[in-house]
Amino acid sequence: MEDKMQQIVSLAKRRGFIFPGSEIYGGLANSWDFGPLGVELKNNIKQEWWKRFVHQRADIVGIDAALLMNPKVWEASGHVAGFNDPLVECKKCHKRFRQDEVINSKCPECSGEITQPKQFNLMLKTFLGPAQEKANIVYFRPETAQAMFVDFKTILDTNHPKIPFGIAQQGKAFRNEITPGNFVFRMREFEQMEIEYFVKESEWEKYFEHWLGEMKQWLKDLGVASSKLHYVDIPDGERAHYSKRTVDIEYEYPFGQKELYGLAYRGDFDLKNHMKASGQDMRYTDTETNEKFLPHVIEPTWGVERSVLAAMLEAYHEEQAPTAEEGESATRVIMKFPAWLAPVKVAVLPLSKKPELSKVAKDIFETLAKEFVCEYDETQSIGKRYRRQDEIGTPLAVTVDFETLEKEDVTLRDRDTMKQERIKIKDLVSAIYGRLQT
């Protein structure tokens, strides 16, 4: 299974999905950049999520809050005092680890003796203004959630939503992880997609199940096999102190079963703490009964990079190619992304570089590019170009050949079946729409 992880990391760099950040300077530990294909994949996930959970629902609004917030936010939320991981250090090689990564009190690297654990705060600290004084300390947000609680009162005053309703946000979060790793699984800089869904306390169980169902459907549409998913109810004593129920959605990665998403019932902990610390009334007023109360919160959380990683692992397939040109592997690598997720939807491939073919192919590309994310490629043989498009997950390829000049039609090739069909140029847009929706 570890081999599959290496295959994904290799493909990600080779084809421009994801590669090490600052690489020409030796990189920065666990810093990854999303390349031309990776940013398309990432944006497809974020856009589909926003469309599904904000645009297509009347009960959710979105925000985009600042990365830096008043430090009092993190004091009220408990992050300054309690956002810690136990840290241990090897007395021999001096490498540091999270305590849960150490077995039998021995260093995972050299089997040296391990120190007693110390609490290590995961927030990344920076300074505002020219002087690095304590008064100027601020933190990069370690989660997107708190902005939605802090902005709750303003959302009530401006949008007048009715309970139940949600606030959604996508964006960067930062954690000074002790041991980041496993490609993009655990990073210090990452993106979250998160909803705070405000409900009456008496109805929290109903809406908890609702959001669990929504997350299951999302995973199905992302292409993740249900057999590799585990819904783990976190027991008493291991949950956050304010949570009555937390479900970790875990996935069978090549490096083990670990968390992909999370769903938590946070009670009224956050609104209550911010109301106390800020002095602002955070209560919701029921317009029918005039009752004032603090709503309780259901919080579904999706990690963007973990979504990308799971989608790539699920999409990766190898199969025997029916034909292989000289120098090519007999194995065909295919990224079988769902059509909505694929970074490139259509490749336009003239059979040769002859000017008469290139002109028609470029005209077709310009037409299709107004409707779909397309690539134009006239380098190397047509077989090698098909292989490349299969490897980046392009669902359809349009081949312009010499028959095109006579009959005004092209070959439309399917990624998964490799079946080819002649389609009139005038019908091409509607034909592609039909195939991408199946």
Question: What are the extents of the domains in the chain?
Answer: 2-61+133-312, 329-436
Q: Residue 316: pLDDT above 90?
A: yes
pTM of structure: 0.89
pLDDT in tens, 392-411: 999 999 999 999 999 999 99
Stretch among 1-15, 92-106, 275-289, 356-370 having the lowest mean pLDDT: 92-106
Percent of the chain clearing pLDDT 70 (strictly above): 95
Using DSSP bridges, classify how beta strands 124-127 and 137-140 pair: parallel, antiparallel or unpaired: antiparallel
Task: Specify whether the CB–CB gap between 107 and 90 falls below 8 A.
Answer: yes
User: In the CATH hierarchy, which fold is given to the domain comprising 329-436?
Assistant: Rossmann fold (3.40.50)
pLDDT for residue 389 is more than 80: yes
CB of 207 within 8 A of CB of 195?
no
Both tokens of residue 12? 């990600």
**CA 313/CA 256 separation, integer angstroms:** 13
| Closest to 59 measured CA to CA, from 306, 359, 318, 298 | 298
Q: Which residues pair with 86 in a beta bridge?
A: 119
Each residue's pLDDT tens digit, 152-188: 999 999 999 999 999 999 999 998 877 667 999 998 8
Written out in words, the top-level CATH class of the domain with range 2-61+133-312 is alpha beta
pLDDT exceeds 70 at position 323: no
Mean pLDDT of 92-120: 79
